[in-house]
Structure 1
C-alpha cells in the first residue's frame, strides 16, 4: 500500500538529491536477499521509517531479508567481541590459533553479508597464523 513521502523529513543529503523533487510516495519494493536468495519486501511503511525517521539516504535500498540482516549483526557483534579481546590480550591471543582462525572466519562471513572486507585484519591474522603453524597458511 503506497505511503505519502515527506522529503522535508529526509536527511540533508537526501533533500539535496534529485529524488526530493519528484518522490511523492513510497511503494512496496520486492527484492531477493543477497545472502539467502529468498524473496523479501521493503514495505512502504518501512521505507517511511528508514528515510524520514532514521534519516538514511534516499538511495539506500534493502539487500538482506530481515533474518539475514539480524544474523549479520550477530556476526558483527562477535567480530567486535574478538577485537575487544584482542585489545586486552594481544600477547596471549597472538599465539592462539583457534581464536585467530575463528576471528578470521567471522570476517569472511561478515563479507558474505555485504560488509566491506577488512583487509588489514585479515592480513594480520594470516601472518600470525603463519607464524604459529610455521608454514604458509592459505586463508583469504
Structure 2
C-alpha cells in the first residue's frame, strides 16, 4: 500500500502529538486515552457531496484537545457542506421562530410552508435526522391549501 501511495505521488500522512490529558473528561475515560499517542491525517468521503476530504492531524488535535469534542467523533462532512448545513440550520431556526410568533397567518402562507419544508429536506441531505413531525405538519397544511384553492 505504501508503494501505491508513492506511485501516485501522495504525501505521507501528517501526524501531531496527542495529549489525552487535554481531552474532555468523558474522552479521558475512554480506551483510547490509554494508547493514543498521536493523531494521523484521516481521509474520508463527504456524506453529502461525496468528495474526498481530509481530517488533518492538526485539526484533530484542535477538535479533541481545545474544543473538547469526544475522541470517538469522526468527520462526515467536508468544510463546504458543513458550512452549508450550519446555514440551513439557521434558516430552519428562523422559520421556527416566525412560526411561533404568527402561526395562524403563516399556516395560510404556501410559500413560507414550502420553503420551510424544503429546508428540512435539505438539512436531512446533510445527514441530520428528518424532523418527521414538522415535515408531516407542513405537508398536511400545504395539502389543505391546495384543496382550498
1:92-114 superposed Cα distances (whole Å, 9 cap, x missing partner): 00011111011001000001101
Task: Give the match for residue 43 of structure 1.
Answer: 56
1:33 matched to 2:46:
yes
1:79 matched to 2:113:
no
Alignment partners' CA distance in 2, 1:117 and 1:69? 17
Alignment partners' CA distance in 2, 1:11 and 1:132? 50
- Aligned partner of residue 3 in structure 1, secondary structure: strand
Task: Give the match for residue 124 of structure 1.
Answer: 137
Alignment partners' CA distance in 2, 1:126 and 1:37? 29
1:15 matched to 2:28:
yes
Paired residues, what number?
Answer: 135
Give 1:131 deviation, angstroms.
Answer: 1.6
Task: Give the match for residue 63 of structure 1.
Answer: 76
1:100 matched to 2:89:
no
Alignment partners' CA distance in 1, 2:25 and 2:132? 32
Larger Rg: 2
Give 1:69 deviation, angstroms.
Answer: 0.5
1:134 matched to 2:132:
no
Unaligned runs of 5+ in 2: 1-13
Give 1:49 deviation, angstroms.
Answer: 0.7
- CA RMSD after TM alignment: 1.1
Task: Give the match for residue 138 of structure 1.
Answer: none
